[in-house]
Amino acid sequence: MKGLKGWLVSAVPAGIAAFWVVLLMGAWGFAQESEEPVFGEDGFTMEIIDEENREIQFTCSASDPDGQVVNYTIDYGDGNTETSTGGFFQHAYTDTGEFWATCTATDDAGMESTAGPHTINILPAGPGSEENAAPAITSFEAQWVNRELRQAKFTCTADDPDGQVVRYTLDPGVSGGEESNATGIFHHTYSGTGTFSAYCTVTDNEDATRTTGPVNITVTAENDDPIDGDDGDTNNCFIGSAGK
Ligand SMILES: [Ca+2]
Ligand SMILES: [Ca+2]
């Protein structure tokens, strides 16, 4: 083969070789002179046919001005592609996320034209799953454990109608004072004076949350003075409670 090539190069003068190259390129260009397929206004449609199973139907329809469309290839945007002659597709998405579907029509000369994309949003709720209900807060109470030492106890209770409460988080109303646990019982010692709004947030096993309204804790310089109506016992003074 090398010998033959060498012979051709040496036998054909440079000028004639250039002529043939130009002629061949011209013929190749002429063969490629085809028009692309054209998608009409509704040339690429999508329709949800089964919401629960995330199944979508697509139709592709294009015409070719100087030949015919031989097939359609759809790219579902989730890593799957499919080719058909009719341009009718159905696809069930298994992953969640946002996908961009496109359809490419190919004509008898190999020319291509692409329509789309359609944006498909597949939400996390899978087949057969129902919407998760947020936990319900039963109570949120605060009381002084030791009023002189400004030690408060918070009790937060909640139920989840369709799962379990996995975490309680107390915001005692002090920057950086947040803490979480699984019991809903917290102790916080206030160092400054003022009125602090405490909140309890409960989180269920599917990460749904609910937050109580505030309980206001007022700490004054006279925090250790007896309160009217108080029984004199500074321990376990009720501060307040809040619902959801
Ligand atoms: Ca064509
Ligand atoms: Ca729940």
168's CB contacts (< 8 A; 6+ apart) are: 156, 158, 180, 181, 182, 183, 184, 186, 200, 201, 202, 203
Q: How many CB atoms lie within 10 A of CB 140?
A: 27
Chain center to CA of 52: 18
Q: Is the pLDDT of residue 196 over 90?
A: yes
Can you read off the two tokens belonging to residue 151? Answer: 């030690």
The DSSP H or E segment spanning 2 is helix 2-11
Q: Which ligand is nearest to the CA of 68?
A: 1
Tell me, in angstroms, the distance from the centre of ligand 1 to residue 151's CA: 82
Q: Which ligand is nearest to the CA of 112?
A: 1
Q: What is the pLDDT of residue 236?
A: 55
List, as ranges, residues with CB under 5 A of the ion ligand 1.
Answer: 34-35, 64, 66-67, 107, 111
212's CB contacts (< 8 A; 6+ apart) are: 137, 140, 156, 199, 200, 201, 242, 243, 244
Q: Which ligand is nearest to the CA of 131?
A: 2
pLDDT tier at 52, thresholds 50, 70, 90: confident
pTM over 0.95: no
Strands (E), 108-236: 112-122, 136-146, 151-159, 165-171, 179-181, 185-189, 194-204, 209-211, 215-219
- Cβ–Cβ < 8 Å for 170, 160: no
Tell me, in angstroms, the distance from the centre of ligand 1 to residue 105's CA: 10
Tell me, in angstroms, the distance from the centre of ligand 1 to residue 36's CA: 5
Q: What is the pLDDT of residue 28?
A: 54
Can you read off the two tokens belonging to residue 150? Answer: 């400004």
Tell me, in angstroms, the distance from the centre of ligand 2 to residue 159's CA: 9
Tell me, in angstroms, the distance from the centre of ligand 1 to residue 155's CA: 75
- Over range 152-179, report the average pLDDT: 95
pLDDT tier at 221, thresholds 50, 70, 90: confident
Which of 204, 134, 142, 124 has its CA nearest to residue 167?
Answer: 204
Tell me, in angstroms, the distance from the centre of ligand 1 to residue 108's CA: 6
Average pLDDT in the chain: 84
Which of 211, 209, 201, 206 has its CA nearest to residue 132?
Answer: 206
| pLDDT digit string, tens, across residues 87-137 | 999 999 998 899 999 999 999 999 999 999 999 998 876 444 567 888 999
d(CA 206, CA 185): 22
Tell me, in angstroms, the distance from the centre of ligand 2 to residue 123's CA: 18
Q: Which domains does the chain have, with CATH numbers?
A: 38-122 (2.60.40.10), 136-241 (2.60.40.10)
